[in-house]
Structure 1
Amino acid sequence: MSSRTRLTFHITLSTPTPTPSSPTLTIQITDPRSTTANNLALATWGSSEILANQLHRLPIPDFTATGPGTQTFPILELGAGTGLVGLSAAAIWQQRTCLTDLRPIVPNLEANIAANRKELAKYGGSAVCGVLDWDDPETRVLGLGEMVRARVILAADTVYSEEHPALLTKAVVARLERGERARLVMCYPLRIGYLDHIRDLWARLEDAGLVCVLEGRETLDQSWEEDTPYEWCVWRWREERLQQQQP
């Protein structure tokens, strides 16, 4: 997985076809390499930039009846890392985002939220963060408050070991709103060493009642010095699964 310590990311805001003069969102990110979780240094990985710059091309999710006064949070990012994707989504979709990760990662998420608070506010977005352990995903997350599920879940570069497909699926099932408007949006590198994990993840998500409705592939720009393809995909609940969940 490619990573970098660049502090400033320019995320495209315009639709549908970006050009060199397209308006961009400026996100300030810190990458404290001394911080680790699960033996992986905290960094901004390639999938995060790919997905952050793909959000403006995706159909805008329906965020009706989310937020304060409801039981549904607008946007939740799993395994947020430095938070680039979740922060970008907050501004692009003009919503409140909750960035989650393991406890050692959260202080940096807090710092990145503080660094970008004014930028997000310019576009009508905001962000909070909290600890979410995929092995115990129903535990209350500080930033979510009483809103236990999310209309949209984001996940970038979250599958790099054989344990992750089961854990990520568990977290998605626990936290994705049960409804036709709910969406899971993911991105990951198509490296040979991870393909079996990706296949396993797809199989588990399908078994859980989700279906992929949109997908595509992108590559990073030359500054990353790699040519690995990245795949992004959008999922929703199958209609028959939603009918089974009705009381």
Structure 2
Amino acid sequence: MISADSDEPLHVLDLPQLYTKPSATDLLKALELLAVQPRSFGSSAHEAVKRPAVQPAGVAQYLTSIISSSLKWLESDELREAVWDAAAARLSERSGRAAMPAMSRVFNIPASSKEEFTLTLHEPSLTSDNLGNKTWVSSYLLSRRLHNLLESTPQLVPATSTTQKDSSTLRALELGAGTGLVGLSFAVLRGALATIHLTDLPAIVPNLEHNVKLNTELLEKSDATVTTGVLDWSVAPDPLPSQDERYDIILAADPLYSPEHPKWLVNTIKRWLSRGLDARVVVEMPLRDAYLPQVQEFRSRMGDIGLAVVEEGEEIGYDDWEGADGESVEVRCWWSVWGWSEKI
């Protein structure tokens, strides 16, 4: 028998060996012990969400031996398939973040300097055309910063829309919500004082809806109101939203990953942001070299429509992709809060 609770990591020879014809249960327990989760977004570049309790030497060979074995001593084809699938998943996980299967991840978000809450998010397995279903480091950093922004920027508290039942209720919109981490964090933090609409492209929204349901208990406890929907930045709504349909605050994290996005994003903000001087846009994005021209274009276009930076800063996070040396990738991110210039 093996234990995941030991302080000392196991050697691969401590795992069930095929020549002993171990049961499917013992093999599946061993394979669960070898599961690798993506690295955390925390302050340490070397921390993983969950470290295997087995020394890495020989693990790949062990997994390959299981995949190539007939496992003929097991009682059914279903059991053999389960073991092969688990071994293949463990081998894929060791090929990097993009090779990992679908997973649910837990994020701890501060509600104050002393309290925090936990969100659970599902991330489907990644392909080149569904990267919006991944949680990105800038989303995590912005979610952890939100409670400070809400406390330090009084203008984020009042709302001016005449359609609201309560004039203290904010109407918030998240653009490119992805897995929903930022928007759900905002919803829990504001509770009954805000409603938020989480939006993304059609392929992303089903998982976004699923993540809202995963956190139903916390949202109900917080008395938060969250809705989801499709919003394509490249398509202008017809008719354009009225002042009563616009939002007091717009949130976006890591929204630029194509040359068209600065223009589309700023045009979308212009259409949907309330014209009140207390309206705000809160954005965080990575400062990756390849995308710096797009960040600069975003800043320029925001100024062109009459928005100015109220507050901004930079911070360091660690993405859950591994670099060439196997370490977490350090990412410098820029966060900013924008408001309308009093001149317009």
Q: Does 1:25 align with 2:123?
A: no
Query: Normalising by the residue count of structure 2, what TM-score does the alignment of the two structures yield?
Result: 0.61
- 1:118 shift after superposition: 1.7
- 1:218 shift after superposition: 1.4
- 1:196 shift after superposition: 0.5
Q: Does 1:9 align with 2:107?
A: yes
2:221 and 2:245 mapped to 1: Cα distance? 27
1:227 and 1:124 mapped to 2: Cα distance? 36
Decide whether the 8 Å contact of 1:33 with 1:41 is kept in 2. no
Question: Aligned residue for 1:132?
Answer: 231
Decide whether the 8 Å contact of 1:77 with 1:100 is kept in 2. yes
1:215 is matched by which residue type in structure 2?
E
2:221 and 2:199 mapped to 1: Cα distance? 23
2:180 and 2:202 mapped to 1: Cα distance? 14
- 1:216 shift after superposition: 1.0
Decide whether the 8 Å contact of 1:165 with 1:200 is kept in 2. yes
Question: Aligned residue for 1:50?
Answer: 141
Question: Aligned residue for 1:245?
Answer: none
Question: Aligned residue for 2:333?
Answer: 230
- 1:157 shift after superposition: 0.5
User: Secondary structure, in 3 states, of the residue corresponding to 1:161?
Assistant: coil
Decide whether the 8 Å contact of 1:63 with 1:74 is kept in 2. no
Deviations 1:100-135 (A, max 9, x none): 001111111111111112202222322110011101
Residues 29 and 36 of structure 1: CA distance in aligned 2, closer, same or farther (over 3 Å): farther
Residues 70 and 33 of structure 1: CA distance in aligned 2, closer, same or farther (over 3 Å): farther
- 1:233 shift after superposition: 0.2
Rg larger in structure: 2
How many pairs align? 230
- 1:93 shift after superposition: 1.9
Percentage identity across paired residues of the two chains: 38
Q: Which moved more, 1:50-59 or 1:214-223?
A: 214-223
Q: Which moved more, 1:187-196 or 1:224-233?
A: 224-233
2:197 and 2:146 mapped to 1: Cα distance? 16
- Structure 2: give runs of 5+ residues left out of the alignment: 1-38, 42-96, 98-102, 322-327
1:73 and 1:62 mapped to 2: Cα distance? 7
1:40 and 1:137 mapped to 2: Cα distance? 24
Decide whether the 8 Å contact of 1:49 with 1:84 is kept in 2. yes
2:190 and 2:291 mapped to 1: Cα distance? 30
1:182 aligned residue (279, 283, 301): 279
Q: Does 1:240 align with 2:304?
A: no
- 1:64 shift after superposition: 3.2
Question: Aligned residue for 1:64?
Answer: 159
1:122 and 1:234 mapped to 2: Cα distance? 28
Question: Aligned residue for 1:151?
Answer: 248
- 1:138 shift after superposition: 2.5
2:300 and 2:160 mapped to 1: Cα distance? 31
Decide whether the 8 Å contact of 2:157 with 2:170 is kept in 1. no
1:153 and 1:41 mapped to 2: Cα distance? 18
Greater helix proportion: 2
1:193 aligned residue (290, 297, 321): 290
Question: Aligned residue for 1:244?
Answer: none
Query: Normalising by the residue count of structure 1, what TM-score does the alignment of the two structures yield?
Result: 0.84
Residues 89 and 160 of structure 1: CA distance in aligned 2, closer, same or farther (over 3 Å): same
Greater strand proportion: 1
